[in-house]
Structure formats: C-alpha cells, structure tokens
Amino acid sequence: MISGVLIATAVVGAVGLFIGLFLGVAGIRFHVDVDEKEEAVLAALPGNNCGGCGFAGCSGLAAAIARGEAPVNACPVGGETVGRKVAAIMGVEAQEGKRMVAFVACQGTCEKAGVDYAYTGVEDCSMQAFVPGGGAKSCDYGCLGFGSCVKACPFDAIHVRDGVAVVDKEACKACGKCVAACPKHLISLVPYDSKYQVACSSREKGPAVMKACSVGCIGCTLCKRNCPAQAAEIESFLARIDAEKCVGCGLCAEKCPRKAIVKH
C-alpha cells in the first residue's frame, strides 16, 4: 500500500519536473523580445481601440509609433495631452496638432425637409440605398435620421434630433467612425475652432433644392461675393467655407438667403 503511494508520488513528481523543464526550454526557444518603448506608448494611449488613428487599435498604433511609422500625436482621442506623453517616451518634441471634430452638413429636419412618402421599413441608414430615391426625404443628399452614425460612435457624441444627426463638439474625439458609417457622406472632420460651416450637402441646382428643403444651399454666390477674406467658394452649386481663410466675420451667414451657413 505504502509502496503504491510512493510510486504515484514519484510519477507525479517526474511528470511535473518534465513539464517544468519543457516549459522552460520552450520559453527560451520561442522568446519574443518586447520593445519597452512600444509598451510604454501603449500604456500612455487611452485604450479605446476605436481605430480613428488608422491602425488596428491602440496596440497597432503603439507599434507604429515605436517603429517611427506614425507621428506621436496620431491618437485623435488622446489629443494634445497624450501626444505630449508619447513624445516624451519617444524622446522627440511634441508636434502641434489641430483638434478636429465631426460635422453633419445637413439641417433637413422633419419641419424643413420635404417628404416624398412614408417609410416603414428597416430603420437603418445603410439600408436606404435600396429604397427608391435613397430615402423618404425629398432631398436625395439629406440626413436619413435613422442613426447609423449614433450606433457607430463609441463616445456618445452624436444624436439624432428631429430627423437629423447633430454632433456634440465637446464630446467628439474625431475618431471618424460616424464619417465611415454615413451612407450619404454628410459627415466630415472639420477644425474644432472653425467659425462657420455650410450645413448642406446638396449639389442640385437652386430650383430643385428649394422644392426639397427650406434651408438648402442654392449656390447663389452671395456668400462668396460678400466674404472679405475670400473664404467662401461655390463648387457644383454648393457653397464651401475654407476654415483656414475664414476670419469669423459672419457676413456669409448673414447674407445667405437660405440660412444654409451656420456658426460652428
């Protein structure tokens, strides 16, 4: 009886010793060197893994920064604060970055935009590509209002109000998820401190726009003619404000007969 216990103990001990030796050899054989800077950069990043930097999560960005393939301020969520921390880790000067936020170029609320028919299908913006006219609203360029951008935003920075998506500037981290989610391509990233933006995306001619929406840009050129900084331009019947040139005088918004230009 005692000899059986001793034999079992010896077998268990031998097996444990063998496994320990095997794991030790395997650890040495398959050892992967860890880049200490990469680990430090990863620890400094916010960990949202939103992909707004263009890499596969924070670990992908950390590896790219450590290899010198991405700038130290590439994280849109962390902004300037994280950029400075990463720059210190990499031993370089922090690069000045411009804060960006998402902007929805549409004001076509339920009251302001016309409706061609009552839609009762799947409430998802991406599904509207299969619906006649690209949605029930008269404007084929307008916000569909079903919130695909809301579902995509990991920071709760965009919400649908009265049929149109609206961005919370303070909560937005410029990750770009909403930009990619919008099938109408209404959302873009603009400078946080931009003064005025054109809240319309229609490229139809004036008469068609006037029938579809009461606040749509008709390409009348009044904004361009009255801008003292030459920041307003007209492209394909749609006004555009150059944020770099804009001085914030507000004349473009004041002169716009359709109120399509808004203070940002």
For the stretch 74-128, pLDDT in tens is 898 888 889 889 989 998 887 777 889 999 999 999 999 999 988 888 888 988 8
Range 240-264 average pLDDT: 96
207 in the same domain as 262: yes
Residue 6 included in any domain: no
Instruction: Give the domain extent around 259.
Output: 194-264
Residue 11 included in any domain: no
For 46-85, the pLDDT digits (tens) are 888 888 888 888 999 989 888 888 888 889 888 888 988 9
Give SS3 for 262: strand
Residue 139 included in any domain: yes
Q: What is the pairing mode between strands 261-263 and 196-198?
A: antiparallel
- CATH number of the domain bearing residue 128: 3.30.70.20
Domain count, the chain: 3
For 21-45, the pLDDT digits (tens) are 777 776 666 655 556 888 998 899 9
Task: Report the chain's mean pLDDT, rounded to a whole number.
Answer: 89
Assess contact for 100 and 76: CB atoms under 8 A.
yes
Q: Which residues pair with 189 in a beta bridge?
A: 102
Give SS3 for 164: strand
Q: pTM surpassing 0.75? A: yes
The secondary element (H helix, E strand) that includes residue 197 is strand 196-198
pLDDT bucket at 158, cuts 50 / 70 / 90? very high
